[in-house]
Amino acid sequence: MLLLTDIPHDKEPLDWNTRMKIAAGAACGLEYLHDKANPPVIYRDFKSSNILLDENFHPKLSDFGLAKFGPMGDKSHVSTRVMGTYGYCAPEYALTGQLTVKSDVYSFGVLLIELLTGKAPVHASASDDDGIDLPRWVQSVAQEEWSTQVFDKELMKYQGNIEEEMVGMLHIAQQCVAPSPDQRTPFKQ
């Protein structure tokens, strides 16, 4: 098995179809945890380094050490100590400790942005000692500049005619990382 983060940077980047396969497989895993598992499970530490890839790049979720059972009955959230990885953690969970399935939706959106940009969720910047929060940075870039500022230049160099699909994935990612959990689309939709 291979971690998504283990792919060497000196090699040709993952092609678009492989990135889509990873995203779709991860979404199916989270959908199962949220909508089919009984009781529902909130992953709580969903990130690229917790996605194992087989030799055909089929993703498998791993490391459920921080997972929590989701709210049951009429409860809307689970209150818990804030845990998880900086850069992937939903802002409302980080502030309140109230964990919902929408917290995982946020983390999934961060993964999509990571796949689109080829950058880590929090990466260093020459102009900012604290680094850049990738979801907020992407939201600040004007739509006309997405292909030149946001999308993985290495991927676009190796593979043409994918910009429309990348824009579609970016729209989904932006819904996932919306500031309000109510604006985030659940996986079953």
Give the whole-angstrom CA distance, residue 174 versus residue 146: 13
Give the whole-angstrom CA distance, residue 78 versus residue 113: 27
Look up 45 and say whether it is catalytic. yes
Rounded alpha-carbon distances, angstroms, from residue 118 to 71, 154, 189: 34, 8, 26
Give the whole-angstrom CA distance, residue 104 versus residue 29: 11
Given 45, 104, 133, 152, which residue is catalytic? 45
Q: Residue 162: how many CB atoms within 10 A of its CB?
A: 17
Active site residues: 45
